[in-house]
């Protein structure tokens, strides 16, 4: 199939897929406006060329690198999510000027992406230290001629704050929630990568409001689902929720967190529209299980794409 590959292409699966779609399904190309965006596109501001690669089911995680000046606040969070990755979701599921909600905003990756891409972000954060870092990040990393200043950090428990927000007032909900209590594990990876750098290793030590301190896994999934059920009331009908999660080991069990959460979300009114794999190429490999048993090195996350109704 050489005719489907550009001679100057790197031959990646993403480029090959884009070429394949262009050749086999030319009817997918909409009539562009002067900006190149189809007048029928009510979801985002992307052209057809920009749209198609974002629908490929595997993304390679992108970041600025640990030593980049603008990565220093982000890496102070025990489970950081790069604004470059959340920015792809923000650009695909919203238009400029629309409203985005993150109920677990952490140190503000979603809000930074919103500021840079001219969206209006609202983030909720329980941990006062992280909330302050999010504000600092917006003031130092998201300033510029074209940055959107309409970013709000609400400090407190999302279970109490969400009911106070206006219903059907958001165009997109995106977040990376706590992965239960996995940050409490003091394995050699944590010691090597965070404790040695004097970085925080968990959201809180004993705060009962912290989902990472819930002892029972089924209860954790139920509580998390209730947060997204409340978010659904704030999300316009037909719009999307994107949740970035990862599976994990729980003792000698493997928890399919992404599947458990997706199944529960469908019981409260969301419809699963797809799953994108976020491949984390930067992560190190450790000899888990050697030489007695299979224990995987988990180098990917899942992005659950859910639609409201």
- pLDDT per residue over 98-124, tens digit each? 999 999 999 999 999 999 999 999 999
Cα dist. 123→100, 134, 182 in Å? 8, 9, 23
- How much is the pLDDT for 33? 58
Residue 82's pLDDT band (boundaries 50, 70, 90)? confident
> Do 226 and 114 lie in a common domain?
yes
Higher pLDDT, 188 or 305: 305
> Do 32 and 86 lie in a common domain?
no
Q: Which of 183-192, 219-228, 271-280 has the lowest mean pLDDT?
A: 183-192
CA-CA-CA-CA dihedral for 43, 47, 48, 53, to nearest 10? -80
Kindly state the percentage of the chain with pLDDT values over 70.
75
- How much is the pLDDT for 63? 64
> Do 91 and 127 lie in a common domain?
yes
- Mean pLDDT, the chain, rounded, equals 84
> Do 38 and 183 lie in a common domain?
no
> Do 138 and 72 lie in a common domain?
yes
> Do 122 and 241 lie in a common domain?
yes
Radius of gyration of the chain (CA): 20
> Do 78 and 215 lie in a common domain?
yes
> Do 212 and 288 lie in a common domain?
yes
When pLDDT is averaged across residues 62-73 and rounded to a whole number, the result is 63
DSSP string, 237-296: EEEEEEEEE--EEETTEEE-HHHHHHHHHHTTTEEEEEEEEEE-TTPPP--TTTTTS---
- How much is the pLDDT for 22? 43
- How much is the pLDDT for 282? 83
Q: Give the residue from 11, 33, 56 where a domain finishes.
A: 56
Q: Give the residue from 18, 37, 56 where a domain finishes.
A: 56
| The token pair that represents 251 in the structure block | 């003792």
Q: Which of 7-21, 57-71, 137-151, 236-250 has the lowest mean pLDDT?
A: 7-21
> Do 92 and 21 lie in a common domain?
no
When pLDDT is averaged across residues 75-81 and rounded to a whole number, the result is 65
Domain count, the chain: 2
> How far apart are the C-alpha atoms of 250 and 262, rounded to whole Å?
19
- The parent domain of residue 36 ranges over 1-56
> Do 82 and 180 lie in a common domain?
yes
* Residue-wise pLDDT tens digits, 3-18: 333 434 444 444 444 4
């Amino acid at each position: 199939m050489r005719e489907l590959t550009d001679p100057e292409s790197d031959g990646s699966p993403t480029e090959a897929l884009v070429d394949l779609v262009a050749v086999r399904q030319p009817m997918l190309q909409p009539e562009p406006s002067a900006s190149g965006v189809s007048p029928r596109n009510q979801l985002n501001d992307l052209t057809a060329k920009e749209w198609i690669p974002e629908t490929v089911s595997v993304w390679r995680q992108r970041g600025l690198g640990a030593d980049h000046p603008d990565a220093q606040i982000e890496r102070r969070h025990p489970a950081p999510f790069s604004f470059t990755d959340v920015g792809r979701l923000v650009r695909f599921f919203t238009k400029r000027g629309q409203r985005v909600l993150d109920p677990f905003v952490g140190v503000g990756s979603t809000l930074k992406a919103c500021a840079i891409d001219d969206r209006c972000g609202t983030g909720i954060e329980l941990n006062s230290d992280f909330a302050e870092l999010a504000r600092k990040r917006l003031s130092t990393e998201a300033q510029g001629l074209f940055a959107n200043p309409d970013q709000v950090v609400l400090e407190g428990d999302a279970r109490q704050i969400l009911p106070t927000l206006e219903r059907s007032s958001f165009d997109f909900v995106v977040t990376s929630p706590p992965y239960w209590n996995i940050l409490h594990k003091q394995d050699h990876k944590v010691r090597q990568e965070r404790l040695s750098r004097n970085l925080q290793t968990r959201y809180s030590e004993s705060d009962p409001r912290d989902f990472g301190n819930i002892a029972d896994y089924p209860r954790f999934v139920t509580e998390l689902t209730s947060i997204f059920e409340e978010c659904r009331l704030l999300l316009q009908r037909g719009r999307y929720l994107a949740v970035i999660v990862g599976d994990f080991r729980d003792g000698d069990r493997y928890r399919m967190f992404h599947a458990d959460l997706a199944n529960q979300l469908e019981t409260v009114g969301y419809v699963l529209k797809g799953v994108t794999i976020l491949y984390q190429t930067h992560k190190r490999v450790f000899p888990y299980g050697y030489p007695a048993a299979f224990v995987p090195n988990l180098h990917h996350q899942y992005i659950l794409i859910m639609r409201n109704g």
